[in-house]
Structure 1
Amino acid sequence: MAAPLLQKNSTLPILLYHTPRYPLNRPFTGHSYFRTKSFSLLNSSKMEAAEITEEVERKPAGEDMSSKKKIFVAVATGSTGKRIVEQLLAKGFAVKAAVRDLDKAKTALSHENPALQMVKADVTEGSVKLAEAIGDDSEAVICATGFRPGWDLFAPWKVDNFGTVNLVEACSKVSVNRFILISSILVNGAAMGQIFNPAYIFLNVFGFTLVAKLQAEQYIRKSGINYTIIRPGGLRNDPPSGNVVMEPEDTLYQGTISRDQVAEVAVQALAYPEASYKVVEIVSSPNAPKRSYQDLFGSIRQK
């Protein structure tokens, strides 16, 4: 039987709880987030939708799912964004990679791939310039931005709030109606009764990062765009070490996941209508059963 868990409406300080099903297997390190059935932190990463009109054929993982659709990825040189670009290209998608520094991007991305187009774009510069970068040849946008921790307390709002809003407004200008956002677990920690959660407190020290992300999510949900909001647990740079666990919003406050798996979830969200208009929270566990992405997304009932 699972160990006890704090209820969502609990106002008590968080203790370390876990279940035998999803064991704790990593220590608290760096900038990480926390989750409900096991407990962790999420790294703040460096800055690193016309709906897809052709139905993507569902094929086994590893096969071409794209029919050569062009996907706009912002920001493509970040730790997670780079992996998203690589996986999109591996699936046969054409990719428009939004970067702030073209020279740096050429060393970070496989720029010789003919399916990859790099464009200079900064989400903080407004929706008009972003609309020009997205153009009329993009069919979906994946937002994998994240502010760089520092002394600028407005950075989370410039990037994770205003930057995300700018992208959604730009999508509207060019009639892109598919939008996938990489957010984080615990963004709605206060409503979950996690106001005393050390991770919630720690991350909001950096300019109320989680509050900025949550308000951006709320804007997306009210915009009418076809969205999938992905909230990963603590981000790891190492390869996957377990299977993806997917839960509804405001469920997780601990757990970790490889950035490779986060990228995979984002790419797979393009393939399945079950992913549309949903907020999902993800971690990984070696004890979790391997499930298809159609099953994972289909299991989530949106509030």
Structure 2
Amino acid sequence: MTSASYIFLAGASRGVGREVAKYLTAQNLKVKALLRTEAAAAELEASGIQVALGDALNVGDVERAILADEPIHAVISTIGGLPADGERADFLGNKNLIDAAVKAGVQKFILVTSIGTGNSANALPPQALETLRFVLIEKDKAEKHLIASGLTYTIIRPGGLKSEPATGNGILTEYPRIAGTIHRADVAQLVVRSLNSDRTNNKVLSAVDKNMMYGQAEFTEFTLD
């Protein structure tokens, strides 16, 4: 990564994306964030983040942000919707980001989805799967689009998310049937560490807190170093 290039972050206004923004700026990395509204802009700009206003669901907005003058080294997307939301960004927003990243020649794309997506569906109980069904379908389409794009990718599927401070016990695994919870700040740590780990290239990984897993699944922890 050159000193002139940026990390492009979609989803920085809240949740995991907001935590990712904190870790990136703490490492003095140059960050450009796509925001749908100005609500979080002042706070992000105060931390040194360049803000591009635009909606991930609008192709023109996304291309203007990613294909601007500043070279983008990597894209991180944590965008998604709640089950009650209308048109969600889980697939269409991420598709626009992925397509623009291909045009920009981005080196790596990290997509945060959810346990329950794709081959991790069996990790969740049937009731949870049914509740999240429409969201998971959209996230699955986004994962498949990224894998087919030709970009170097890392897909991270966190378990149930909590907003407490990081525990430092977040782990990744390629085992798709693991389930549990994890703090958003710990997911963000794993995302930022994955950014500079070639071991995560073209991997689909589940993320949980090793002390908050459901059941006693036999699995191998994925090492980033």
TM-score bracket, shorter-length normalisation: 0.7 to 0.9
User: Runs of 5+ in structure 1 lacking a partner?
Assistant: 1-51, 55-66, 289-293, 299-303
Query: Per the alignment, do residues 74 and 195 of structure 1 end up closer, same or farther by CA in structure 2, a change over 3 Å counting?
Result: closer
Q: Which residue of 1 aligns with 2:216?
A: none
Q: Which residue of 1 aligns with 2:63?
A: 131
1:162-177 map, 5 Å: 162-177=92-107
Equivalent pair of 1:71/1:93 in contact (CA under 8 Å): yes
Give the counterpart of 1:243 among 169, 182, 195. Answer: 169
User: Runs of 5+ in structure 2 lacking a partner?
Assistant: 214-220
Q: Which residue of 2 aligns with 1:105?
A: 40
* C-alpha RMSD over aligned residues: 2.4
**How big is the shift at 1:193?**
4.8
Residues 1:118 and 2:51 aligned together: yes
Counterpart Cα distance in 1 of 2:85 and 2:211: 38
Residues 1:202 and 2:131 aligned together: yes
Equivalent pair of 1:195/1:201 in contact (CA under 8 Å): no
Counterpart Cα distance in 1 of 2:27 and 2:4: 9
Q: Residue type matched to 1:106 in 2?
A: A
Residues 1:185 and 2:115 aligned together: yes
1:267 alignment partner, SS class: helix
1:230 alignment partner, SS class: strand
**How big is the shift at 1:79?**
1.4
Provide the TM-score with structure 2 as the length reference.
Answer: 0.86
The Cα offsets for residues 237-281 of structure 1, whole Å up to 9 and x where unpaired, read as: 0013361232115222x2000100111111111111111110100
Q: Residue type matched to 2:37 in 1?
A: D
1:180 alignment partner, SS class: strand
Give the counterpart of 1:86 among 16, 22, 44. Answer: 22
Equivalent pair of 1:78/1:144 in contact (CA under 8 Å): no
Query: Per the alignment, do residues 179 and 74 of structure 1 end up closer, same or farther by CA in structure 2, a change over 3 Å counting?
Result: same
Counterpart Cα distance in 1 of 2:62 and 2:203: 24
Provide the TM-score with structure 1 as the length reference.
Answer: 0.65
**How big is the shift at 1:112?**
2.2
Counterpart Cα distance in 1 of 2:148 and 2:224: 21
Residues 1:297 and 2:224 aligned together: yes
Counterpart Cα distance in 1 of 2:188 and 2:211: 18
The Cα offsets for residues 132-176 of structure 1, whole Å up to 9 and x where unpaired, read as: 101242211100101144263xx23xx101111110101122221
Query: Per the alignment, do residues 273 and 150 of structure 1 end up closer, same or farther by CA in structure 2, a change over 3 Å counting?
Result: same
Q: Residue type matched to 2:51 in 1?
A: M
Counterpart Cα distance in 1 of 2:212 and 2:11: 33
2:223 alignment partner, SS class: helix
Q: Which residue of 2 aligns with 1:219?
A: 145
Q: Which residue of 2 aligns with 1:284?
A: 209
Counterpart Cα distance in 2 of 1:122 and 1:172: 18
Identity of aligned residues (%): 31
Counterpart Cα distance in 1 of 2:211 and 2:123: 26
The Cα offsets for residues 52-86 of structure 1, whole Å up to 9 and x where unpaired, read as: 4x5xxxxxxxxxxxx57411100210211111111
Counterpart Cα distance in 2 of 1:163 and 1:184: 16
Equivalent pair of 2:143/2:155 in contact (CA under 8 Å): yes
* Structure 1: 4+ residue segments shifted above 4 A: 191-196
Query: Per the alignment, do residues 68 and 177 of structure 1 end up closer, same or farther by CA in structure 2, a change over 3 Å counting?
Result: closer
Counterpart Cα distance in 2 of 1:151 and 1:140: 28
**How big is the shift at 1:295?**
6.0
Q: Which has the higher contact order (CA 8 A, sep 6+)?
A: 1
Between Structure 1 and Structure 2, which shows a larger proportion of strand residues? 2
Between Structure 1 and Structure 2, which shows a larger proportion of helix residues? 2
Counterpart Cα distance in 1 of 2:17 and 2:212: 27
